[in-house]
Chain A
Amino acid sequence: MINEIIRINVSEMSYTMEEIPEKYKYLGGRGLTSAIVADEVDPKTDPLGPGNKIVFAPGILSGTSAPSSGRLSVGAKSPMTGGIKEANAGGLTAVRLAKLGIKAVIVEGFPEHKDWYHVLISKDKIEFIKANEHANMGLYELIEKLWKKHPKSGLCGAGIAGQRLLKNAGIFGNNPENTDPGRYAGRGGLGAVLGSKRIIAIITDDTGGERPMPVNEELFNTGRTKMVNALNEHAITGGKAGTDKGALKNYGTNVLQNIINEAGALPTKNFRSGYFEGAKNISGEAVHELVDETNEKFGDKAEGGYGHACHPGCIIRCSNTVPDKNTGKAIVSPLEYESAWALGTNLIIDSLEHVAKLNRICNDIGIDTIDAGNALAVAMEAGKIPWGDGQAAIEFMKKGYDPNDEDGATFMQGANIAAKTWGIDRVAVVKGQALPAYDPRPIRGIGVTYATTTMGADHTAGYTIAPEILGSAGGADPRELNKADLSRAFQSTTAYVDQSGYCLFIAFAILDIAEGMEGLEETVAGFLGKKKYDITTVGNKILKIEREFNKKAGFTKDDDRLPKFFVDEKLPPHDVTFDVTNEELDAVFDKM
Chain B
Amino acid sequence: MKINLKLYATLRKYLPNTEIGEAVIIEVKQGSTIKDIIDKFTIEEELAKIIFVNGIHETLDYILQENDLPVIFPPIGGG
User: Which residues on A are within 8 Å of B, measured CB to CB?
Assistant: 234-237, 244-245, 247-248, 250-256, 258-259, 262-264, 279-281, 283-286, 289, 318, 337-338, 459-460, 463, 465-466, 469-472, 475, 477-478, 504-505, 508, 573-574
What CA separation (Å) do A466 and B79 show in the bound complex? 9
Asked if residues B19 and A280 are in contact (CB atoms below 8 Å), the reply is yes
Asked if residues B55 and A264 are in contact (CB atoms below 8 Å), the reply is yes
Residue picked from B20, B73, B76, B78, most chain A C-beta under 10 Å: B78
Q: What are 7 of the A-B contact pairs (CB < 8 Å)?
A: A255-B76, A256-B79, A264-B55, A283-B21, A471-B50, A505-B77, A505-B78
State the majority secondary structure of interface residues on A.
helix
Closest to A468 in B: B57
What CA separation (Å) do A388 and B79 show in the bound complex? 24
| The stretch of B5-13, B26-34, B60-68 that contacts the partner chain | B5-13
Instruction: Report the minimum CB–CB distance from B77 to chain A (whole Å).
Output: 4
The contact of A253 among B20, B50, B79, by CB within 8 Å, is B79
Asked if residues A236 and B79 are in contact (CB atoms below 8 Å), the reply is no
Q: Which residues of A contact B79 (CB under 8 A)?
A: 253, 256, 337-338, 459-460, 463, 465, 504-505
Asked if residues B20 and A259 are in contact (CB atoms below 8 Å), the reply is no
What CA separation (Å) do A132 and B21 show in the bound complex? 50
What CA separation (Å) do A253 and B76 show in the bound complex? 9
Asked if residues B20 and A318 are in contact (CB atoms below 8 Å), the reply is no
| In the complex, the 4 A-B pairs of residues with the closest C-beta atoms, listed nearest first | A253-B78, A280-B21, A235-B75, A236-B77
User: Which residues on B are within 8 Å of A, measured CB to CB?
Assistant: 6, 8-10, 12-13, 19-21, 46, 49-50, 52, 55, 57, 71, 73-79
What CA separation (Å) do A258 and B6 show in the bound complex? 11
Asked if residues A285 and B78 are in contact (CB atoms below 8 Å), the reply is no
What CA separation (Å) do A280 and B79 show in the bound complex? 17
Instruction: Report the minimum CB–CB distance from A253 to chain B (whole Å).
Output: 3
Instruction: Report the minimum CB–CB distance from B49 to chain A (whole Å).
Output: 6
Asked if residues A470 and B9 are in contact (CB atoms below 8 Å), the reply is no
Q: Which residues of B contact A459 (CB under 8 A)?
A: 79
Asked if residues A262 and B6 are in contact (CB atoms below 8 Å), the reply is yes
Q: Which residues of A contact B77 (CB under 8 A)?
A: 236-237, 247-248, 255-256, 466, 470, 472, 505, 508
Asked if residues A285 and B20 are in contact (CB atoms below 8 Å), the reply is yes
Q: Which residues of B contact A256 (CB under 8 A)?
A: 76-79
Q: Which residues of B contact A281 (CB under 8 A)?
A: 20
Q: Which residues of A contact B46 (CB under 8 A)?
A: 235
Given contacts A251-B76, A281-B20, 19 further A-B contacts (CB under 8 A): A235-B49, A247-B74, A247-B78, A250-B9, A255-B9, A255-B78, A256-B76, A256-B79, A259-B76, A262-B6, A262-B55, A262-B73, A280-B19, A289-B20, A337-B79, A459-B79, A465-B79, A470-B75, A504-B79
What CA separation (Å) do A264 and B71 show in the bound complex? 12
What CA separation (Å) do A253 and B55 show in the bound complex? 21
Q: Which residues of A contact B55 (CB under 8 A)?
A: 262-264, 573-574
Given contacts A244-B13, A262-B6, A285-B9, contact A236 B20 (CB under 8 A): no
What CA separation (Å) do A255 and B74 show in the bound complex? 11
What CA separation (Å) do A286 and B22 show in the bound complex? 13
Asked if residues B50 and A244 are in contact (CB atoms below 8 Å), the reply is no
What CA separation (Å) do A179 and B76 show in the bound complex? 28
What CA separation (Å) do A283 and B22 show in the bound complex? 13
Instruction: Report the minimum CB–CB distance from B55 to chain A (whole Å).
Output: 4
